[in-house]
Amino acid sequence: MQSRATVPHAPKAAILFPAATLLHSEPETISQEELGLLLSLRGRLRQLEAQLATEEQSLRARLAAGARIQPGDHTAVLKESFRRNVAWKAVVVRLALRLKLDGEAYCARVLASTRPTRTVALVVE
């Protein structure tokens, strides 16, 4: 009968391993086929990402030009949003507090004078 070792501090139920496996186990060999498959999958992923980007750009351009969507289960729209982003707002507020100024009012003025950044996303459902 083989002796078994338990893993200390195992959650709820102890996990049992044959003691011989823990002491004399050889590292598993990774085959060339596995490595080749991984490289092949990476290459295919890059191809699919490029194909996806091309198709999305085509749909975006056609929708922007006024193309209609054929009636059916799926929809596609261009979602436009505008964002005024003042990334340094927290730093300015802290500095204003140190200088005993009204940091929130100053940041509000800066934000109001900042041109919004326009983003357009393709939404397909």
Domains of the chain, residue spans: 29-68, 70-125
Cβ 107 vs Cβ 89: under 8 Å: yes
pTM of the model: 0.53
Question: Higher confidence at residue 63 or residue 106?
Answer: 63
Q: Which residues pair with 18 in a beta bridge?
A: 4
C-alpha distance from residue 103 to each of 84, 112, 113, 114 (Å): 17, 14, 15, 16
Q: What is the mean pLDDT of the chain?
A: 81
Q: What is the pLDDT of residues 27-82, one digit of tens each?
A: 899 999 999 999 999 999 999 999 999 999 999 999 999 999 999 999 999 998 88
Residue 62: partners with Cβ closer than 8 Å, 6 or more residues away: none
What is the rounded CA–CA span in Å between residue 37 and residue 31?
10
| Structural Rg of the chain based on CA atoms | 29
